[in-house]
Each structure stands twice: as structure tokens, then as C-alpha cells.
Amino acid sequence: MSCAVDLTPALRATWQVPSFATPLWLGRRQPWCVIIPVINEGERISRLLQRMAALSIAEHADIIIVDGGSSDGSLALEALQALGVRGLLVKTAPGKLSAQLRCAYAFALDEGYAGIVTIDGNDKDDPAAIPRFIEALRDGVDFVQASRFIAGGQAENTPTSRNFAIRFIHAPLLSLFSGFHWTDTTQGFRAYSRKLLLAPEVAPFRRVFMTYELLAYLSYRAPRLGYRCIELPSARRYPKGEVPTKISSVSGNLSIIQVLLKACLGRYNP
């Protein structure tokens, strides 16, 4: 599949991408890829990959895992390949989720993918929505956000405090400042066009994106610049008695609010 947006050497030279290793890369096969950020997800990443294999996701998009430095043995290469994974990137530089995503997005764009779907590796999201995300990208959408809160979506066992924060703080503020009506803005199940990620006025490959800034920034920046954004329904299920997350309860949530306010005020703009 051809892509109208070119990655020039001059643009590529401006990117700030954390260092990473590539223990597995079988080459690009599909026009689209699914990027899965993980760190010590244990059985959760295996369950997600098994679900994706049952849905034949690899027939729609190449599956690439970006690891933030797992030490739990959950990413054995032979097991990953058996479940359809085509690439494993391992971030070797400092940083959290945004740094991982900069590694993976840069890799995917370098490899010529026309669009990227990102789904968390903790098995909370239903990968059955991935083909619909890809279809939206194919139809010219630049940013697809999964939402459990719109018609057809499902929210199961969402912690009360998190549900309140998303529906009455995070999504409303991003909606107000971005000009697009978002309903579910904290989750990482989304898709981006190549055009959006390559745009110099978006410029996602900057060191300012180290923890959780990139998600809020793109939700703010893309609509403000007139890129085509939509939400699609999805299911997000938390296991009973467990909240699989890398965000600590107090300091982590305060950091998310600080990031939100900075994004809404344009502090991360190029």
C-alpha cells in the first residue's frame, strides 16, 4: 500500500528517539501494525496475544511489542513468534510509556507503515475492535480513540475513582480545550495515521514525552490542528480484585492531572 506522506531525511534527523534494541524483527508484511507496550505483564500479555491469534489479527496488521525493560521472563522469543508477533523492541534508555511509544512509533514509521494501532499489554482491552480501527484509518481517519462509554462500548469493573476522574475531569477538560468531544481519554487503545505522526506541527518525537504526556498531548493537539478524529466503541474489563496498571494510586494520579493541565494549556506544543 502506498502512502502519500514521505519521511524525509531532514525530518527524520529532528527526531529524539530513545535507544532501543531489536531482538526480534521478521520484516513488514502488512500496511498496518499493532504496537503493544509492556513491562512485566506476566500472563496478561500471553492471554492478549492468544486472543489476538484467535481473532487472526495478524492477517490485518503486523504485531510489534515494545518492552520497557521486563524482568519476568514473559517475552520469550519462541513463544512470541508462535503467537504471531513479528517484532520485539526493548527500550534501553530512561523513560516510561511515552518513551516506549516514541521508540515504537519511530520504528514503525521507518519501516513504512501507513498507520499504527496501540493496545495496552495488560489484557484489559478487547482486540476484536482492531480491524474496525484499521478500517477507519483506511477511510482517512487520523486518530481513532477506543471508548467504553459510547453506544456499543462496555466498561466492566472500572474502579470508582478512575471512572469519576475520566468522565468528569480528564475527558471533559480535553474536550473543552481540544474542541472535540472525547469520552474516554486515559486509555491507550487508539490508532494514528502516518500523516498525523509525521506532521511537523505535531512533532511527537521529542524528549518532553517521557512518562504519560504523549497520550494527553495527542488527544489535545490532533483536533486543534483539524485532523480527523473519531471514537469507536470498545470493551475495557478490569479483573475483579485487581487493577493492572503502572500508575501508582496517589503520586501517579497527581502526575496524570499535571500532565493533563499542561497539555490543555498547550505546554507540549512544538
What pLDDT, on a 0 to 100 scale, did the predictor assign at position 5? 66
What is the Cα–Cα distance from 124 to 122, expressed in whole angstroms? 6
Average the pLDDT over 130-144 and give the result.
98
* Assigned domain for 104 exists: yes
Assess if residue 2 is contained within a domain. Answer: no
CB 126 within 8 A of CB 234: yes
- Whether 269 is in a domain gets the answer no
Instruction: Give the separation between CA 227 and CA 76, rounded to whole angstroms.
Output: 39
Q: How many helices (H) and strands (E) in the chain?
A: 10, 10
Residue 169's CATH number? 3.90.550.10
| Residue 123 placed within a domain | yes
**Is 6 among the domain residues?**
no
Instruction: Give residue 203's domain range.
Output: 17-264
What's the whole-number mean pLDDT along residues 64-84?
97
Q: Is residue 8 part of a domain?
A: no
Residue 2 has pLDDT above 90, yes or no: no
**Which of 57, 37, 34 lies closest to 108, judged by CA?**
34
Interstrand relation of 32-38 and 115-118 (parallel, antiparallel or unpaired)? parallel
> For residue 118, is pLDDT > 70?
yes
12 — alpha (psi -120 to 50), left (phi > 0) or beta?
Answer: alpha
Q: Is residue 193 part of a domain?
A: yes
Nearest to 148 by CA among 239, 215, 232, 218: 232
Residue 238 pLDDT more than 90?
Answer: yes
Other CB atoms within a 10 A radius of the CB of residue 95 amount to: 17
Q: Is residue 7 part of a domain?
A: no
Terminal-to-terminal C-alpha distance of the chain: 30
Q: How many domains does the chain have?
A: 1
